[in-house]
Structure 1
Amino acid sequence: MVSVYTDSGGRSLPRPRLIALAGRSIGAIPPPVQVLIGILSLQVGAAFAKQLFAAAGAMGTVALRLFFAGVVLMLLWRPSLRVSRHALPVVLAYGLVLAAMNLCFYQAIARIPLGIAVTIEFLGPLVVALAGSRRLLDALWALLAAGGVVLLSETRGDVSLVGMLFALAAATCWGLYILLTAALGNRTSEGNGLALAMSVAAIAVMPVGVVESGSSLLHPSVLLIGLAVALLSSVVPYSLELEALRTIPPRVFGVLMSLEPAVAALAGLVVLGEALKAPQWIAVCLVVAASIGAARSAKNTPEV
């Protein structure tokens, strides 16, 4: 039997065998594990992106990341450009929020350590987790994760206020991104909506990236690292998160994302040489415990 999907015009189209195999492979992975793989990929990509700032700048790095991610996803999914009226507002909103989130986050990590930036940014999904919870146990996991965030914020040295404000803006965008990702998964099929939204984000960011970095964006080494960052920071995590949110509620997803500060701190240690202090190691244990608890809650949540 040939695997098919429906485009925005309602036509059944053959799906490439490679996509079908990839989809089945991703689908065989439990949703909590999909989220964890996405987190690891995202934070390693962010650490490599920070190393690219000296050559391409923060804006230029975002432009390269979103451009390559958009190209890869468009080639991979080949979505129809005819988007239904039902899906178009979500695709546009998702793309613009994605662009704003990346711009703010990269401006933040250009000024403050990666672990601190992600710790502040985590306030977005934490608010989503708390606001959407109807069970005391889920609130407990969110509070446990919040304790880890507080400990991770204990970093020596002066921290740029501007960098913290950019991270807070990224947190707001991240909360919106979680909610929009769930809506995108409901209103589009497969990865078609993600590919279109990523292209919207790339188009929105490219002008500011070109203005800041100019011809340096075309240097072969910059392009190569930019492609790697796009795959690690956009294509892999966003695809996995979109797939996971088809089966788990946003509140559980938000608590699972509590691993972000811990993984970011570890990525900063390994890739950037940003050493962790003792309280931050305790924080790692707290957010891991919260994420395990959230994963167990997801298994016990009845399907609707």
Structure 2
Amino acid sequence: MVLEEIMKKYTKKQKAELQRTSSLFYLLYRISKDLGLQKHLEQAFKSMEKYILGSQLKVSYPVYVAVMALLPLFIAPLIALTVFVITFYVLYMPPLLSIVFTIVSFILGYAIIFMLLYLVPIMMFSSRAPILEKSLVVLYAYLAALGVSGASYTEALRKLWEKSETLGAEPELTEVVKRVYILGEDVVEVLKEVAEIAPQRDFGNFLRGLANVIESGAGLENFAEVGFETALANMQAKMKEAMGALEIMSEMYVTGAAVMPILALSFAVVLATMGPSAKMFGLTLPVPPATLAGLMAFFGIPLLSIFAILMVDGTLSKIRGW
């Protein structure tokens, strides 16, 4: 009954993913397979598998490597054709030079699109690390509640998978459930293997620790309680660090945007009132005081404010959602 329920939910998710994904991707996959390129592509880009799995792209590894290799072949000719039309018919370049530009644009177009497709899953994989870090507290708390309620290891895994989408851990837990319930692999080995490709170190430790608990037969609640306290302590340390950084930024902003302009203008006004006597002591300004005030008001302070906003946003992004 449990297996039927999991199969039903897994199939539903797979259908939803297929609907969200462009049919062009699967057409390119079929072309790659018919040409006999698929096996070579999968072997050549084996290192990409963990990034595609953990990036939430909703595309399987074989399909994505086919798209990565073939999609630029359809776009690069369009870029080359555009360059040829512009260079030959608009700029009236010599035919040979126009052909050279066309060939170069084809090569560059293919390389740029290929690199973009190559980097997208890596960047998405890396961007999930903060989300998983923030979800650890909830994961441990939920696992502790399941342990107290007397849930078995397999039942706890199934429950975690059902909540994985809201917790940001869907790719990893879906891989575990698929391989354990559908393919019948050993749960301990699967957890350890998935832990090795997790985007975030602490989340990998969570899966690895869960595998050790299942292997040893220890209680889930004890493991979850210790993990919850550790994750909560890490979260509080991050919050404290961020608050300290914000305090320093606020002091720097007040000093740079309020105190320093007032002191600079006061000094400029004093020099202006001293007139020629200030030049006797070598105290001169490169610009008049009014110009200096305008530069600070319209350029200096706004640029400092933009820089401060970017710094604050970067700091808050580390703790946003906690």
Q: Fold conserved (TM > 0.5)?
A: no
Normalising by structure 2, we get a TM-score of 0.22
The structure with the larger Rg is 2
